[in-house]
Amino acid sequence: MIRYLVVPILLLSASAAFAQSITRSPLGLGYSYQPSTDIDDGSEVSTQSFYVRAGLPLLREPGRFIAFTTRYEWTGYDFDGVTPGSFGALDPWDEVHALKFGLPVFWDLNEDWTLFALPSLRMNFEDGADLEDSLTGSLLAGATYQFSESLSIGPGFGIRTQLEDSTSAFPIVLIDWQISENLTLTTRPSGTFISGPGVTMNWQLSDSWRAAFGATYENTRFRLRDSNRATSEGIGEYNSIPLYAALTYQPTSNVHVGVFGGVRFANEIRLENSRGRTVLREDTDPAPFFGLNLSLHF
């Protein structure tokens, strides 16, 4: 239920922020770790992730921007437990890959209105799964209106295909609000260390230091390999709502280094068969996480 309330409002944020960020930061990477947390069936799960992103502007001029973007993320899952039929006993997956390609377009109609479109292709798959069975696509489009020098809001819509699930359509909104000289509220995340839509409060502490506080929604749905012991060519899914704080340091004009930490709430882990029918679904306890990221600006 949570994802149907959160995603329609915020889904644009992560994709648009990532797309536009390459005008300033065409290369970034990061690492995060989540210690073992209890699953309701008596098992435990921990994760660690590494990502790298890159972007290449194809057209960059005043009021017009088109680019090619890509992001790769590796996530390792470690299940533990002996209760028969539990996630720990099944050990349903271990290494999961996510590869995304996007073609963001931003086009100014006049001083107030900007059109945006973001078609993308994504492959989420367990190590050894068929890539062609892991492919999904999405399109986000709409417009933003500049109400003042400090506030812009944009309505739009999204269409997304899903692995072994029906295509979804939903409304979206993008907000940028300069509350004060050093404080901003935005649905563009301050970094890319957490994938997914969200809301972030940025606080510019000095020329070199910036703090951020935010909440996001994470949804990871991926294809399992045909030799998977739990269910051949099935679907794995992990959902959560992370609350986090981050601190970024800029030692030079071209390098940004950040550390972050937080807690994931409303965690849900799911295993489905190859037809999308639920085999096992459990909630997990709130899970702490922490990590670091680096971005290069040119």
Domains and CATH numbers, the chain: 2-296 (2.40.230)
Question: H or E element: which one contains 14?
Answer: helix 12-21
Q: What sign has the CA pseudo-torsion 231, 233, 1, 244?
A: positive
pLDDT tens for residues 225-235?
Answer: 999 989 999 99
CA 70, CA 125: separation in Å to the nearest integer? 16
- If pLDDT is split at 50, 70 and 90, which confidence band does 19 have? very low
Q: What is the pTM of this model?
A: 0.88
pLDDT tens for residues 40-89?
Answer: 999 999 999 999 999 888 998 898 999 998 999 999 999 999 899 899 99
CA 132, CA 110: separation in Å to the nearest integer? 41
CA 234, CA 169: separation in Å to the nearest integer? 24
Strand partners, 4: none
